[in-house]
Amino acid sequence: MSTVSEPVSLSTPRGVDAGLTPKQLADKYGLSVSGARPGLFAYTKQLWARRHFIWAFATARLVAQYTDAKLGQLWQVVTPLLNCAVFYLVFGVILSSKDGFPPGTYIAWLCIGVFVFQFTQNAVQSGTRAISDNLGLIRALHFPRASLPIAFTVIQLQQLLISMVVLVVTVLASGIAPGRTWLLIVPALILQTLFNTGISLIMARIGAKTSDISQLIPFVMRAWMFLSGVMFSIQDRVHKWPHYIQVICNINPASVYMDLLRHAFAPVIYNPHQNPHQSLPPHQWVYGLAWGVGMFVIGYVFFWKAEEEYGRG
Amino acid sequence: MADVDLSKNDNVLDTDVAREPTVVVDDVHIVYRVHGAGSGKGSATSALSRILSRRRAAGVREVHAVKGISFTAYKGEAIGLIGSNGSGKSTMLAAIAGLLPTEKGGIYTNGQPSLLGVNAALMNELTGERNVVLGCLAMGMSPADVRARYQDIVEFSGINDKGDFISLPMRTYSSGMGARLRFSIAAAKTHDVLLIDEALATGDQAFQQRSKRRIDELRGSAGTVFLVSHDNNSIREVCERTIWIEAGELIMDGPTDEVVGRYERGERP
């Protein structure tokens, strides 16, 4: 080229733009700061545009999860069943928590608790790793990062629905007839899914910054499980304790969603007449709604606040 | 090709016509903070962590990777970035893509630049097929668009040239095959600014030819392409403008023939 001795740099603005500073040039042509976070409304719009991605990602992940296992997709049903078997052996047979339940119904009560708690537990665990396990994808393509934790919640929901089939069989086998309360399963699960999405978004942001947290999560979740009364009614155990502990146990979201689903599935075992602490007060629905909507909104905003920082560094 | 050459000459020779900038890099400094084990603190409050890191001598080391680089890229340009290993080329690219925060200065872009690097893996445990669909959906295409483009993407990548590889998980691919598929996915959409980090070096001869044609097409559709490569020939073939970076500083910014020539001879201006 004949421009070897040309003193003008290729960067310099020309014509009418000559003399503008880089900042002025950027402003004039409406360039935006690279990697800036969009507004909350624009972000939601982008996220909605990625709904097909979220769904396809969740389905692909669920299918890929068991590709190495010989039994394949069967593990989705076997894993929760094995969990129930272990808890039944320890708490039902050895520790006899089943006192006070009509004969044969403790296993159904236990299974509902285990599946419902695992739904939230999995959301927390996969949320923590949602960003850090997908850095390749995040650094290669641009999309609203909230797609990932939300997709992982969708995976958990798909898994839960499979477990629900096992659950229905268990409940019917315990001699509990399906009733009108079964209709309440749907709103209860919707509220829990909202709650899980929120907590997954919060954990995703924390896990993206502090990878140490994933070491801590199993202990936190185990403590939460034992304190939520998955295998025994926690309300029965604390009714002689100070009032504030009873309040904490009552508003514990894991307990709230377990109560709602246990009541929906099997009101018979939920409310044995000799045990007033196991009746379902209507304010449990208020708690469930508040936890679901509140956690979702807080989690969404909390995650969005750090949108531009995921995958950096 | 003829169109592109014509506009290329316009840009270089006609100094009176205002050009539309697509990327403005204004005195950018980038500092990496390398956290030692166990001292990982969130950088959400960067000011606070800076105070903390000064006090904690052992915890954090700072690496000044880019030191005050400025340039402006215009519509239709293909710009090569050259320099020795560790000179800050890839860092610069990641910053333009918005993946690295700048310490000082600003980077302004037209739309969202898309970074294509050899290191960026998609989902290894999923099949190539799924990766194509998911990659396209993630870029914001509609399912109908994906169905329409799918065949072109697979053909372009050449993954199925030697048998039905697209239905195998991506972890079974060679690094070259993976890079080819990733390039094909990213190039399926027209980007305002496309950043390529050595992706061309990994493909075979036939694929390199195809990707060069695709890059020309992308430039033709009013985009700007940045290419980081150690292969000076591919820079010469693709880019008409080249920026030479060394130790985080801009050494030279000019026509490719001149800059690459000097770089090869080791003549710093």
Q: Does A241 touch chain B (CB under 8 A)?
A: no
From B36's Cα to the closest Cα of chain A, the distance in A is 13
* Strands, sheet with A32-33, edge to edge from the N-terminal-most edge strand: A32-33, B104-109, B21-35, B60-74
Q: Determine the Cα–Cα distance for residues B189 and B140; give it in Å rounded to an integer.
A: 9
A312 with B99: Cβ contact below 8 A: yes
Q: Does A7 touch chain B (CB under 8 A)?
A: no
Q: What is the pLDDT of residue B89?
A: 86
Q: What is the pLDDT of residue A205?
A: 93
From B33's Cα to the closest Cα of chain A, the distance in A is 8
| Token pair for B198 | 């050595």
Q: Which residues of B touch A133 (CB under 8 A)?
A: none
Smallest Cβ distance to A34: which of B109, B124, B254? B109
Q: Determine the Cα–Cα distance for residues B8 and A109; give it in Å rounded to an integer.
A: 74
Instruction: Considering only CA atoms, give the Rg of chain B.
Output: 20
End-to-end CA distance of chain A: 39
Q: Determine the Cα–Cα distance for residues A184 and A287; give it in Å rounded to an integer.
A: 15
From B53's Cα to the closest Cα of chain A, the distance in A is 16
Q: What is the pLDDT of residue A195?
A: 96
Q: Does A282 touch chain B (CB under 8 A)?
A: no
B134 with A16: Cβ contact below 8 A: no
The CB-based long-range contact list for A79-86 (8 Å cut-off, 24+ gap) reads: A80/A111, A80/A114, A80/A115, A80/A118, A80/A163, A80/A166, A81/A166, A83/A114, A83/A118, A84/A110, A84/A111, A84/A114, A84/A170
Q: Which residue has the tokens 């959400």?
A: B44
A142 with B114: Cβ contact below 8 A: yes
Which uninterrupted H or E stretch holds B241? Answer: strand B241-246
B138 with A50: Cβ contact below 8 A: yes
Beta bridge mates, B61:
B34
Q: Determine the Cα–Cα distance for residues B36 and A131; give it in Å rounded to an integer.
A: 21
The residue ranges of chain B whose pLDDT is under 70 are 1-16, 34-60, 117-121, 199-203, 222
User: Among residues 17-46 of chain A, which lie with CB inside 8 Å of chain B?
Assistant: 17, 21-23, 25-26, 29-36, 46
Q: What is the pLDDT of residue B39?
A: 43
Smallest Cβ distance to B123: which of A67, A137, A147? A137
Pair A114, A191: CB distance under 8 Å: no
Q: What is the pLDDT of residue A47?
A: 92
Q: Which residue has the tokens 């939460």?
A: A224
From B38's Cα to the closest Cα of chain A, the distance in A is 8
User: Among residues 43-82 of chain A, which lie with CB inside 8 Å of chain B?
Assistant: 46, 49-50, 52-53, 56-57, 60-61, 64, 67
A10 with B241: Cβ contact below 8 A: yes
Distance of CA B210 to the CA centre of its chain: 18
A25 with B22: Cβ contact below 8 A: no
Q: What is the pLDDT of residue B41?
A: 46
Q: What is the pLDDT of residue B46?
A: 58
From B162's Cα to the closest Cα of chain A, the distance in A is 24
Q: What is the pLDDT of residue A20?
A: 79
- What are the b/e assignments for B153-171, b being 16+ CB within 10 Å? bbebbbbeeeeebbeebbe
Q: Which residues of B touch A5 (CB under 8 A)?
A: none
DSSP A15-71: GGGTT--HHHHHHHTT-EETTPPPPHHHHHHHHHHTHHHHHHHHHHHHHHHTTTSSS
Q: What is the pLDDT of residue A296?
A: 96
Task: Output the CA angle B31-B37-B42, nearest 5 degrees.
Answer: 55
Q: Does A5 touch chain B (CB under 8 A)?
A: no
Say how many CB pairs under 8 Å bridge A and B. Answer: 188
Which uninterrupted H or E stretch holds A196? Answer: helix A185-209
A4 with B122: Cβ contact below 8 A: no
Secondary structure of B100-131 in the HEC alphabet? CCCCEEEEEECCCCEEEECCCCCCCCCEHHHH
Q: Which residues of B touch A22 (CB under 8 A)?
A: 24-27, 70, 72, 106, 108
A13 with B112: Cβ contact below 8 A: no
From A116's Cα to the closest Cα of chain B, the distance in A is 28
| Token pair for B126 | 């999923």
Secondary structure of A202-265 in the HEC alphabet? HHHHHHHHCCCHHHHHHHHHHHHHHHHCCCCCHHHHHCCCCHHHHHHHHHCHHHHHHHHHHHHH
Q: What is the pLDDT of residue B50?
A: 54
B254 with A3: Cβ contact below 8 A: yes
Beta bridge mates, B225:
B78, B194
B253 with A11: Cβ contact below 8 A: yes
Q: Determine the Cα–Cα distance for residues B170 and B157; give it in Å rounded to an integer.
A: 13
Pair A231, A87: CB distance under 8 Å: yes
| Token pair for A281 | 């007060």
Q: Which residue has the tokens 């956690």?
A: A295
Q: Determine the Cα–Cα distance for residues A2 and A271; give it in Å rounded to an integer.
A: 91
End-to-end CA distance of chain B: 33
Nearest to B268 by CA among B252, B255, B254, B256: B252
Q: Which residues of A touch B22 (CB under 8 A)?
A: 31
Q: What is the pLDDT of residue B47?
A: 55
Mutate to test the interface with B, among A34, A57, A143, A155 (most CBs of B within 10 A): A34
The residue ranges of chain A whose pLDDT is under 50 are 1-7, 272-274, 276-277
Q: What is the pLDDT of residue B12?
A: 47
Distance of CA A214 to the CA centre of its chain: 15
Q: Which residues of B touch A310 (CB under 8 A)?
A: none
Q: Which residue of B has its CA nearest to A306?
A: B44
Q: What is the pLDDT of residue B265?
A: 87
Nearest to B215 by CA among B90, B77, B110: B77
Q: What is the pLDDT of residue B9?
A: 45
